[in-house]
A and B are shown apart, each in its own frame.
Chain A
Amino acid sequence: MKGIFRHVFFFGIMVGLIVLVGQMQSWNLALSILNLCLISSIMALGVNMQWGYAGLFNVGVMGFAALGGLAAMLISMPPVHEALAVGGKGVFFGLLILVATIAVCVFLYRKIAFPPLRMLLVIVVSIVGYFLLRSVLDPATVAIEKVNPAATGYLGGFGLPIILSWPVGGILAGAAAWLVGKITLGLRTDYLAIATLGISEIIVAVLKHEDWLTRGVKNVTGLPRPVPYEVNLQKADWFLELAARFGMDPVTFSSIFVKLCYGLLFAVVLLIVLYLSEKALRSPWGRMMRAIRDNEVSASAMGKNIKARHLQVFILGSIVVGIAGAMLTTLDGQLTPTAYQPLRFTFLIWVMVIVGGSGNNWGAVLGGFVIWFFWIEAEPLGLWLMDVLTSGLDTDSALRLHLLESAAHMRLMTMGLILLLTLRFSPRGLLPERR
């Protein structure tokens, strides 16, 4: 019972804190914190699968979340017909060549037994394939980027409902995870960490620089929403009536209403993911995963295929992160490649999992709430603290200005310290795994 009490206690405090923000600052702020808490929790659940169930260290959460964001954009935006007309064919054939090259390489590698010949052929095929790809893709992308660059200059998407992008984001992230996992799992844990760091940097670099795909640093704004727009709500009669019944200003109420709709959608996803993770963790599969994590040698001696199980759980975790990434971009309503920073998307999620309690799904959810809440509220707090600390100095003294300016970097340090302290003094987190 002590475990249940702990769970209720901490979640109670969290609810209290959000209500407090609602009362003290504004309900709008409280709800936007809540929405991001929900998304963070889902991401933390994904990382918890990898770390908590299996002991895999993924330093590339950012990349998988970015793939989810890309999916949100690709699925929801209307296609740009002009760009498709000039470059659609080129991009299509380019992708075809890419797939064909990889397939031929894999085929040759599998079929030829004589190593030097095998290597030579694979190298020749991949070089030829690369130049073919470039010769088809380059003119197409140049043409696409020339189509009204100020407004579009990219291919656009499929123009489907944005909710569809959540599973698609998961699939994209899962595919990237398969690529990395297939190569690095089974080697030292360090290699997985380094490779995930690498792939996440590359994914974000692609989003930033491939203008024909994502408009690069020009951002894609105005993604269609899964929920009503505030302006439309303010014109609807039923909504005005509802606002009058609550005695609230329709403008404020509309933005709260929209945030509530988002919150509801996210909560549904969180509950589904949480339910499935709990079910999995309590099933024979979950016990096997923990057995592998705790002692690989004996699990392997019992006939468990360690590498395959690791690959499986790594892909599953990445899928969840990808779904959360798509949800985040849906909430933002725009794809901003420059916003993907390792601190915000990799490290923060890790702190959530470690502080919440690795191996315990409820812990990951709690960690998502707690850390996101303090991440947001720490900025005004830090500024205020710096202001108080430096109040003895002149208002325009160089030191004081420098300290106030640098208050933002304190968040980095604080989060690092929280991680190190938790890891050292309470490695099982706020809500320890049940044993």
Chain B
Amino acid sequence: MEDFLNAFALISNFVLVPAIAYGSQLALGALGVTLVFAILRFSNFAHGDTMAFGTMVTILVTWWFQSMGISLGPLPTALLALPFGIAACAAFLLISDRLVYRFYRQQRADPVIYLIASVGLMFVTNGFVRFIIGPDDQRFADGERFIIRAREFKQMTGMAEGITIKVSQGITVVTMIIVVAALFWFLNKTRAGKSMRAYSDNEDLALLSGINPDRVVAITWILAAALATIAGTLYGLDKSYKPFTYFQLLLPIFAAAIVGGLGNPLGAIAGGFVIAFSEIFVTYAYKKFASYALPEEWATGGLLQLLSTDYKFAVSFMILLLVLLFKPTGIFRGTGV
């Protein structure tokens, strides 16, 4: 029994807790991609770098607050700076929509043209971010670091294995729940949200019933900016901020959105957790877990790792391929095949 509890604590510490936090971040990122897809009907390759941009502004404002001595006590100051990041990111996306995408919308261009334009925008954003903050790692987390330390947990329970929960992980999950609740309330209850869903379901019918398309598109970009900035900041607080990492996040985020069904918000959340859990489950080394969970005679010398962490992107890719092979519409039926 003792061994069983220890094995469970070990798994919670190294797999469940990190996967829940990572899944929340992916879910928020995938929600942004899926919203843009539902309304504008293209996969936004610039989303990863939009996250990097919003996070960059948040970091800069955080540093400014820190230099002025403003802080949130035990919570990271970045939370206070978040609204500024969102505002700047929204402005950035609205300007880029005005300069780039609006033209193609008026032309009723092919979706693939949007795709190429978004790749172009991705590199402009990427260059801009690197130009301002540099390509290196940046640290901006402050406040308390842990909710529960492994040592305290061990003292409390008297077990051999402890569970560590970082403040950033706690904040990630709480923020994710709040943001998702607010988003669904907005989409289902408000007039603007309903017009968005109508536009997504049937563009022509929505236009006929007097919905202003420019307004719908603008709201979409603002929501995408908010989701991207929040996801990026939470990821940066939890791990670290490096512009290139955000470009690499694009693959798991797309995979999450497609697994759930592109264009379906509920699917994006589910997809985020599917990807995060599979990634961490597959790349975790089960050696110590096996020492608790299995009889001693079965012990082996290996790490018992299914896949080295170097290939964590391969996990999201494999899942993506499997979904495309067997159920291209995703778990929750999305709009696009």
- A residues touching B (Cβ–Cβ < 8 Å)? 55, 57, 59, 130, 138, 183-184, 187-191, 193-195, 197-199, 201-202, 205-206, 208-209, 342-343, 347, 350, 354, 405-406, 409-417, 419-420, 423-424
Q: Is the CB of B254 within 8 A of A416?
A: no
Q: Is the CB of A350 within 8 A of B116?
A: yes
- Chain B, 302-337, contact with A by CB distance < 8 Å: what is the 0/1 string? 100010101101101100110011001000000011
Residues in B212-234 with C-beta less than 8 Å from chain A: none
- B residues touching A (Cβ–Cβ < 8 Å)? 42-43, 45, 100, 103, 110-113, 115-117, 119-128, 130-132, 134-135, 247-248, 250-251, 254-255, 258, 262, 302, 306, 308, 310-311, 313-314, 316-317, 320-321, 324-325, 328, 336-337
| Known contacts A197-B251, A420-B100, A412 near B126 by CB under 8 Å | yes
| Known contacts A191-B324, A193-B43, A209 near B130 by CB under 8 Å | no
A195: chain B residues at CB < 8 Å are 317, 320-321, 324
Q: Is the CB of B313 within 8 A of A202?
A: yes
Give Cα distance in the complex from A205 to B254, angstroms. 19
Give Cα distance in the complex from A410 to B124, angstroms. 9
Q: What's the A-B contact tally at a CB cutoff of 8 Å? A: 127
Knowing that A416-B125, A420-B100, A420-B124 are A-B contacts, what are 15 other residue pairs whose CB atoms are under 8 Å apart, sorted by A's residue number?
A57-B116, A183-B321, A184-B324, A188-B111, A190-B42, A193-B43, A194-B254, A195-B320, A198-B320, A205-B313, A406-B130, A410-B131, A412-B127, A416-B122, A423-B113
Q: Is the CB of B310 within 8 A of A208?
A: yes
Q: Is the CB of B126 within 8 A of A190?
A: no
Q: Which B-chain residue is minimally distant from A403 (CB atoms)?
A: B131
Q: Is the CB of B112 within 8 A of A197?
A: no
Give Cα distance in the complex from A411 to B124, angstroms. 9
Q: Is the CB of A417 within 8 A of B317?
A: no
| Known contacts A347-B119, A354-B116, A409-B130, A201 near B336 by CB under 8 Å | no
Contact of B112 among A57, A194, A209, A417 (CB under 8 A): A57
Q: Is the CB of A424 within 8 A of B324?
A: no
Distance in angstroms from A213 CB to nearest chain B CB is 13
A183: chain B residues at CB < 8 Å are 321, 324-325
| Known contacts A194-B43, A195-B320, A406 near B100 by CB under 8 Å | no
Q: Is the CB of B116 within 8 A of A209?
A: no
Q: Is the CB of B121 within 8 A of A420?
A: yes
Distance in angstroms from B310 CB to nearest chain A CB is 4
The 8 closest A-B pairs by CB, nearest first: A413-B127, A412-B127, A416-B123, A416-B124, A198-B317, A419-B120, A190-B43, A409-B130
Q: Is the CB of A202 within 8 A of B317?
A: yes
The A interface is mostly helix, strand or loop, or mixed, namely helix
Distance in angstroms from A49 CB to nearest chain B CB is 16
Distance in angstroms from B88 CB to nearest chain A CB is 18
Give Cα distance in the complex from A419 to B113, angstroms. 12
Q: Which B-chain residue is minimally distant from A347 (CB atoms)?
A: B123
Q: Is the CB of B127 within 8 A of A416?
A: yes
A208: chain B residues at CB < 8 Å are 310
Give Cα distance in the complex from A355 to B311, angstroms. 35
B262: chain A residues at CB < 8 Å are 190
B117: chain A residues at CB < 8 Å are 420, 423
A184: chain B residues at CB < 8 Å are 324
Distance in angstroms from A311 CB to nearest chain B CB is 15
Q: Is the CB of A59 within 8 A of B321?
A: no
| Known contacts A187-B337, A423-B117, A198 near B251 by CB under 8 Å | yes
B103: chain A residues at CB < 8 Å are 424
Q: Is the CB of A194 within 8 A of B320?
A: yes
B313: chain A residues at CB < 8 Å are 198, 201-202, 205
Distance in angstroms from B140 CB to nearest chain A CB is 18
B111: chain A residues at CB < 8 Å are 188-190
Q: Is the CB of A209 within 8 A of B127?
A: no
Distance in angstroms from B36 CB to nearest chain A CB is 11
Q: Which B-chain residue is minimally distant from A409 (CB atoms)?
A: B130
Q: Which A-chain residue is minimally distant from B309 (CB atoms)?
A: A209
Distance in angstroms from A429 CB to nearest chain B CB is 13
Distance in angstroms from A117 CB to nearest chain B CB is 15
Q: Which B-chain residue is minimally distant from A127 (CB atoms)?
A: B306
Q: Is the CB of A57 within 8 A of B115?
A: yes
Residue with the highest number of chain A CB atoms closer than 10 Å, among B45, B103, B127, B317:
B127
A130: chain B residues at CB < 8 Å are 306
B127: chain A residues at CB < 8 Å are 409-414, 416
List 19 contacting pairs A-B, 8 Å CB cutoff, sorted by A.
Answer: A183-B324, A188-B337, A190-B42, A190-B43, A190-B111, A191-B258, A191-B324, A195-B321, A197-B254, A201-B248, A202-B314, A205-B314, A343-B123, A347-B119, A354-B116, A412-B127, A416-B122, A420-B120, A423-B116
Contact of A412 among B119, B123, B317, B336 (CB under 8 A): B123
A413: chain B residues at CB < 8 Å are 123-124, 127-128, 131
Residue with the highest number of chain B CB atoms closer than 10 Å, among A190, A209, A354, A417:
A190
Contact of A423 among B120, B134, B248, B325 (CB under 8 A): B120
Residue with the highest number of chain B CB atoms closer than 10 Å, among A414, A419, A420:
A420
B43: chain A residues at CB < 8 Å are 190, 193-194
B316: chain A residues at CB < 8 Å are 198
Distance in angstroms from B22 CB to nearest chain A CB is 18
Distance in angstroms from B111 CB to nearest chain A CB is 6
Residue with the highest number of chain A CB atoms closer than 10 Å, among B110, B115, B250:
B115
Give Cα distance in the complex from A147 to B116, angstroms. 46
Q: Which B-chain residue is minimally distant from A119 (CB atoms)?
A: B326
Q: Which B-chain residue is minimally distant from A411 (CB atoms)?
A: B127
Q: Is the CB of B115 within 8 A of A190?
A: yes
Q: Is the CB of B134 within 8 A of A416?
A: no
Give Cα distance in the complex from A99 to B296, angstroms. 35
Distance in angstroms from B303 CB to nearest chain A CB is 10
Give Cα distance in the complex from A410 to B132, angstroms. 11
Distance in angstroms from A156 CB to nearest chain B CB is 23
Give Cα distance in the complex from A416 to B325, angstroms. 33
Q: Which B-chain residue is minimally distant from A56 (CB atoms)?
A: B112
